Every structure is written in structure tokens, then in C-alpha cells.
């Protein structure tokens, strides 16, 4: 009992799962539940796009008999995605001249893969070598911005390569629907340049870098795919010869466009990155591709590619920073010697620009934080000063009318003998006229007794201790009863409590 087969209706292009027998040639029955058209289509898929080895491919196609057409091809031509080897084909993701890409399920490893299938059935050895060259080139690479290869093989007359499935959109789609700001464009190209440099370090030249071969995943990270035209520097391949133009014209370097394949090196990939950078900065490509100026030329020296007048991305989009404009134009220089020598140098310049932008943002945020803190502190100080002015009385008002003890506490400090303690580190000795007046200069009137509230004692007005007291410490007592009421003790020298109390006159 086989698993259900997903059939694509040729009328509405919707997919429908139907039961399938053990024989793959069992015709799907019934009608499409969406549009009502029969699910079975007798019109087989015709034709295929020839690759670079056209003569070999045509001979191979002519030699394919009806018996050599595999059961999978028969099922596929009827509209069912069917299966290939162990893979269950679920959805067609893309279609190219050399092959097609399907979303497929790998039951052995229980995961989805992007399965690239060679369009030509039962290919020649040369075609197979070209197809599997992509798998071998990509399998050497291990980078987060390069889609990994899981497996490759040949089943039922078909060559296939299983890639890691990336959920995302091509760069050209993102460019058209969600234009990139300069910082996002610089980040994307920096990551791509880092990935290309990784490939170059392992001797792999991509030679076909273009937006269609770059996926932007769900996290906004660019992923480089399709190493079908890649060349390994450690192999002397005869698949590409001088004069053969390999790549996509709009993104070719001049040496590629002139067919000088032996002069193609890392700087050719840098040129393609520059064109992509121009495109995502300005929103369009810089101009027409280069064409051969002198046929059968053997060197780029003296050649002048026929290009449309090239402008800069800054001239098209004024929001492009001048630094990014210079980086883009250097990467796109016609002469290889005027470009970045490596993709690493391009990535380093972009990385330096991005770090500078981050520093500016942090500096601006810190400056704003300092200003905001200063404003808050200034407001608090204003509120505090206003409260103090509104709630605190002047010093004289605070001491005026206070009790003698409070007045004494608020008065300048004095020593045990009643003399004022000088303030710390005076600038100059006080003049005699500025000192506190002593009791000898203070009018005591007819008071017989004088109190010292600080020392809790009272004296006779004629006592020598009174003469040494500071005027601020003198308290004139009405009589001894007031001294007792204030809790003052008699002086040991003059003994005021032993003095006779004057008799009142009757």
C-alpha cells in the first residue's frame, strides 16, 4: 500500500492528494474538487532547454527511447509530483534551463530538502559531470550564508542534488516589495562578501552571483545558492574554454563578458557583488551589460567594454551615504586592479562602516540620556529651592522670641568659661572691636544677680566670673526665686545664696 500522491491540477494549478496503487502507472481518477476538471492530463511535458554542451545533449535526447523514460517521468508528466528515489516530491519551487527545484521530503532523515533535479533524462557523462560539479563545489563549503548540500545521486535516469531547504524569498523579490535602507543593504552585502570570501579561501569561484541566486530567509539573512557555474581552482577543468561566456550578462564582470574565462578570478565575483550592492541601494541595475568590443581578444588590456553610461547609486538615490557610494563604485570598477582585491577586503570596509554607525547611535543615545538626566536634576533642584524659600524663615526670625535655652543653643559656641570659640581657620585675627562685649561693657542695671544659662549657674553682679562672661551668655535675674525656678546653681566663689534678702519697705 503506497502513500497518497499529490497531484497538481493543470486547470487551476492547485494540488490535490489522491490515493495511489502499487503501480506508479495507475492513472489518477476523479475530478479536481476546486475547478471540476479531470486530474488526468495526457499531454506530456515537451522539450527541455539545452545547456552548454548542446551537441552532446541533443544526441542524448535523440537516443532516449520510450522504454528508457522512467516511471517517475511518466507520473510527473501526468501532473503528479510523485517521488524520486527515496524523496517524495511535494512542491515545485523553481524552474531553470538546466533543471528544476522541488520541495521534497526525505523519509530517511525525516526532513524537508530542496531537491534539484536535472531536466534531461539519462544524460551523458559530460552532462552529469557538469551537474555534479555544482554539488562537489558546494559540499566543500560550510558557512551560515551558503546553503548546504546534504546528498546527491542518480535514480531512475535522473540526476539530483539535495540541498538544505531555506524558507525565504529571492533577493530580487525582497528588493521589489520591501526596499532596503542603506544600513540593511550594507549588512546584506557584508554577509554575502563574507560567504564569497569563504568560498574563495577553499578555491571555489561562484561566477554567477545574482539576486536570483540569493535567498533572504525568514530572519533576514542572505543565503547564497546555485554553484552550477562554479569553478574550483585546484582542478584544471575542460568544461569551460576561453571564448565561452559563462554567467548572467547583467552581473558579469568585463573579463567574463569578453569571454576571457582564464582571467576570471576572485575579483570577478567582487564585481558581481558590487552590481548587486548598486541594485539594492539604488533600486535598479547600473546599466546594460558589457559586450565584446574586439572579437577574439586574448587580453583585457586595451579592451573597453561597451557599457551604457554608468551612474552612481548616490545620483539615483540621494539617501545613499557617500561612503557606501564609494565602496560600491570601487567594487564595480571595470579594471580588476581597481577593484577590491578580495571579497574579504570588501567585507571589511562594509563592516567598518556598520560599526561606525552603531557607535554614532550609541553616542547619540548617551548624549540624550545625559541631557535628560541634567534636566531632571535641574527640575528637582528648582523644586527643592522653592520649597526651602517658602517654608524656612530667616535666621533672625527663627531666633527671635525663642526661649533663653534655645537662644543659647543657636548662639555661637563658647568655652567653659563663657568665652566664644573662634571659627575654624580664620583668615585673620579678629579686631578688638569685633569681639563679643564682656559683662564689664554690658549694662546690668539694678540687677543684683546674673545667670549663666549655658553653665547652669548664677552669680552676684559683682562676681569676677561675671566680668569674664560673654555678653550673649548673661541673663539678668530679677531675684533668687527666678534663679531657683530656672534650675540654676549658686556660684562657689561669690555664694549669692548666702546674701541676705533685702526686706521690702512697708
Contact 467, 437 (CB under 8 A): no
SS3 call for 475: strand
In terms of pLDDT, which residue wins out, 32 or 160?
Answer: 160
In terms of pLDDT, which residue wins out, 4 or 100?
Answer: 100
* Paired strand residues for 114: 103, 163
Residue 219 CB neighbour total at 10 angstroms = 7
Kindly give the residue spans of alpha helices, DSSP state H, lying in 78-215. Answer: 125-139, 171-177, 182-201
Q: Which of 31-40, 363-372, 373-382 has the highest mean pLDDT?
A: 373-382
In the prediction, which pLDDT does 187 show? 96
Q: What average pLDDT does the chain have?
A: 74
| Catalytically annotated residues | 208
User: Measured between alpha carbons, how far is 455 from 418 in angstroms, rounded to an integer?
Assistant: 8
Contact 95, 117 (CB under 8 A): no
In the prediction, which pLDDT does 304 show? 55
pLDDT digits (tens, 9 = 90+) for 200-225: 999 999 888 999 999 999 999 999 99
Q: Which of 173-177, 256-260, 297-301, 403-407 has the highest mean pLDDT?
A: 173-177
In the prediction, which pLDDT does 17 show? 63
Query: If residue 468 lies in a helix (H) or strand (E), which one and from where to where?
Result: helix 464-468
CA distances from 128 to 97, 220, 251 (A): 15, 34, 26
In terms of pLDDT, which residue wins out, 110 or 262?
Answer: 110
Using a pLDDT cut of 70, give the percent of the chain over it. 64
Cell triple for 328: 560600491
73-77, 99-103, 228-232, range with the lowest pLDDT: 73-77
pLDDT at 15 over 90: no
Report pTM: 0.56
pLDDT at 97 over 80: no
Total H helices, total E strands in the chain: 14, 17
Contact 73, 83 (CB under 8 A): no
Residue 213 CB neighbour total at 10 angstroms = 23
Contact 99, 163 (CB under 8 A): no
In sequence order, which residues have a C-beta less than 8 Å from that of residue 282 and are 6 or more positions away? 313, 316, 317, 320
What does the pLDDT average to over 178-189?
94
Using a pLDDT cut of 90, give the percent of the chain over it. 29
Residue 75 confidence class, pLDDT cut points 50, 70, 90: very low
What does the pLDDT average to over 333-360?
92
pLDDT digits (tens, 9 = 90+) for 309-321: 578 999 999 999 9
Does the annotation place 304 within a ligand binding site?
Answer: no
In sequence order, which residues have a C-beta less than 8 Å from that of residue 168 and are 6 or more positions away? 215, 216, 217, 218, 223
In the prediction, which pLDDT does 417 show? 52
pLDDT at 228 over 60: yes
247-261, 321-335, 445-459, 482-496, range with the lowest pLDDT: 445-459
Cell triple for 333: 570598477
In the prediction, which pLDDT does 450 show? 84
In the prediction, which pLDDT does 495 show? 80
User: Measured between alpha carbons, how far is 340 from 127 in angstroms, rounded to an integer?
Assistant: 35
pLDDT at 441 over 90: no
Alpha-carbon dihedral 404, 406, 411, 417, rounded to 10 degrees: 60
Domains identified in the chain and CATH numbers: 5-164 (3.30.200.20), 168-360 (1.10.510.10), 404-416+436-498 (3.40.10)
pLDDT digits (tens, 9 = 90+) for 22-63: 443 434 446 777 767 666 543 333 333 333 333 344 344 344
In the prediction, which pLDDT does 9 show? 57
CA distances from 116 to 160, 289, 337, 480, 484 (A): 5, 29, 37, 120, 115
pLDDT digits (tens, 9 = 90+) for 446-487: 677 888 877 888 888 888 788 778 777 788 887 888 888 888
221-235, 300-314, 441-455, range with the lowest pLDDT: 300-314
Strand pairing class (457-460; 489-490)? parallel
Beta strands in 165-305 (DSSP E): 168-170, 204-205, 214-217, 222-224, 231-232
In the prediction, which pLDDT does 211 show? 93
Buried/exposed code over 19-33 (b: 16+ C-beta within 10 A; e: otherwise): ebeeebeeebeeebe
Residue 401 confidence class, pLDDT cut points 50, 70, 90: low
In terms of pLDDT, which residue wins out, 361 or 492?
Answer: 492
What does the pLDDT average to over 240-249?
61
Residue 292 confidence class, pLDDT cut points 50, 70, 90: very low
In the prediction, which pLDDT does 10 show? 52
| Residue whose C-alpha cell reads 533642584 in the numeric block | 381
Amino acid at each position: 500500500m503506497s502513500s497518497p500522491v499529490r497531484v497538481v491540477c493543470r486547470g487551476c494549478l492547485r494540488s490535490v492528494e489522491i490515493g495511489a496503487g502499487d503501480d506508479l502507472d495507475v492513472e489518477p481518477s476523479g475530478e479536481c474538487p476546486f475547478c471540476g476538471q479531470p486530474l488526468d492530463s495526457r499531454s506530456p511535458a515537451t522539450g527541455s532547454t539545452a545547456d552548454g554542451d548542446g551537441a552532446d545533449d541533443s544526441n542524448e535526447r535523440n537516443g532516449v527511447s520510450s522504454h528508457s523514460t522512467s516511471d517517475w517521468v511518466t507520473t510527473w508528466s501526468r501532473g503528479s509530483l510523485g517521488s524520486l528515489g527515496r524523496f517524495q516530491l511535494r512542491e515545485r519551487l523553481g524552474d531553470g534551463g538546466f533543471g528544476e527545484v522541488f520541495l521534497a521530503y526525505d523519509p530517511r532523515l525525516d526532513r524537508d530538502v530542496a531537491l534539484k533535479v536535472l531536466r534531461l533524462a539519462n544524460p551523458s557523462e559530460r552532462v552529469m559531470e557538469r551537474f555534479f560539479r555544482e554539488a562537489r563545489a558546494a559540499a566543500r563549503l560550510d558557512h551560515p550564508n551558503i546553503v548546504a548540500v546534504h546528498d546527491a545521486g542518480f535514480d531512475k535516469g535522473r540526476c539530483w542534488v539535495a540541498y538544505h531547504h531555506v524558507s525565504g524569498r529571492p533577493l530580487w523579490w525582497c528588493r521589489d516589495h520591501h526596499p532596503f535602507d542603506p544600513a540593511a543593504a550594507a549588512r546584506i552585502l557584508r554577509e554575502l562578501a563574507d560567504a564569497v570570501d569563504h568560498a574563495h579561501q577553499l578555491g571555489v569561484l561562484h561566477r554567477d552571483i545574482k539576486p536570483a541566486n540569493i535567498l533572504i530567509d525568514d530572519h533576514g539573512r542572505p543565503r547564497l545558492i546555485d554553484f552550477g557555474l562554479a569553478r574550483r581552482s585546484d582542478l584544471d577543468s575542460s568544461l569551460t574554454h576561453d571564448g565561452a561566456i559563462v554567467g548572467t550578462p547583467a552581473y558579469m564582470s568585463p573579463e567574463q563578458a569578453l569571454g576571457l574565462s582564464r582571467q576570471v578570478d576572485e575579483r570577478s565575483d567582487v564585481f558581481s557583488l558590487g552590481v548587486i550592492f548598486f541594485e539594492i541601494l539604488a533600486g535598479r541595475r547600473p546599466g546594460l551589460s558589457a559586450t565584446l568590443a574586439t572579437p577574439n581578444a586574448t587580453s583585457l588590456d586595451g579592451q573597453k567594454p561597451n557599457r551604457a553610461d554608468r551612474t552612481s547609486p548616490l545620483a539615483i538615490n540621494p539617501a545613499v551615504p557617500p561612503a557606501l557610494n564609494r565602496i560600491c563604485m570601487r567594487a564595480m570598477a571595470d579594471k580588476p586592479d581597481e577593484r577590491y582585491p578580495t571579497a574579504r577586503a570588501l567585507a571589511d570596509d562594509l563592516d567598518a562602516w556598520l560599526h561606525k554607525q552603531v557607535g554614532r547611535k550609541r553616542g547619540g543615545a548617551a548624549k540624550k540620556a545625559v541631557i535628560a538626566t541634567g534636566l531632571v536634576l535641574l527640575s528637582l533642584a528648582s523644586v527643592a529651592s522653592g520649597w526651602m524659600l517658602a517654608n524656612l524663615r530667616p535666621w533672625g526670625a527663627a531666633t527671635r522670641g525663642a526661649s533663653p535655652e534655645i537662644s543659647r543653643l543657636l548662639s555661637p559656641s563658647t568655652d567653659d568659661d563663657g568665652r566664644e570659640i573662634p571659627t575654624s581657620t580664620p583668615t585673620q585675627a579678629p579686631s578688638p572691636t569685633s569681639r563679643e562685649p564682656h559683662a564689664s561693657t554690658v549694662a546690668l542695671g539694678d540687677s543684683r544677680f546674673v545667670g549663666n544659662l549655658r553653665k547652669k549657674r548664677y552669680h552676684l553682679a559683682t562676681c569676677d566670673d561675671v566680668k569674664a562672661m560673654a555678653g550673649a551668655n548673661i541673663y539678668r535675674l530679677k531675684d533668687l526665686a527666678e534663679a531657683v525656678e530656672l534650675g540654676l546653681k549658686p556660684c562657689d566663689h561669690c555664694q549669692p545664696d548666702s546674701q541676705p534678702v533685702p526686706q521690702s519697705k512697708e
